[in-house]
Amino acid sequence: QVQLVDSGGGLVQAGGSLRLSCAASGLTFGDYAMGWFRQAPGKEREFVAAISRSGNTTYYADSVKGRDTISRDNAKNTVYLQMNSLKPEDTARYYCAADWGIPTMTASRYHYWGQGTQVTVYP
């Protein structure tokens, strides 16, 4: 059974940092591209970042480019999202996802999803 467990969210003041983690089990982690998405109340789920199977290629939404860094450790079956210079508009529930194939910004392409971790940024 495939399981993605998101963690690392929390309450942080604007300008602060958080590091999200997503631990995968039940799949061959290195065979999957990984992505992070977020969803704020009343809004659609939106792409944040994605990383290729090897970790050599990354993609970012314009809204987080230069502030967030996605990385992965295939030996630990874990993908990370380092978020810096957080803004109140970053407040959302963050989800990791696994995609059998190349990394994509399209949520429907992802096969497996974590349960999400809440990030709240206050002014």
Give the per-residue pLDDT at 102.
86
* Tens digit of pLDDT at every position of the chain (123 positions): 999 999 999 999 999 999 999 999 999 999 999 999 999 999 999 999 999 999 999 999 999 999 999 999 999 999 999 999 999 999 999 999 999 988 899 999 999 999 999 999 999
Give the per-residue pLDDT at 90.
98
Supply the DSSP string of 6-73, one letter for each residue: EE--EEEETT--EEEEEEEESS-GGGSEEEEEEE-TTS--EEEEEE-SSSS-EEE-TTTTTTEEEEEE
Residue with token string 């659609």: 44
Instruction: Give the closest residue to 34 by CA, choosing from 112, 119, 116, 118.
Output: 112
Give the per-residue pLDDT at 101.
83
Give the ranges where 46-114 is alpha helix by DSSP (H).
Answer: none
Distances (CA, A) of 59 to 1, 70, 104, 120, 123: 28, 8, 8, 23, 28
Whether the CB-CB separation of 97 and 35 falls below 8 Å is answered with yes
Amino acid of residue 70 = I
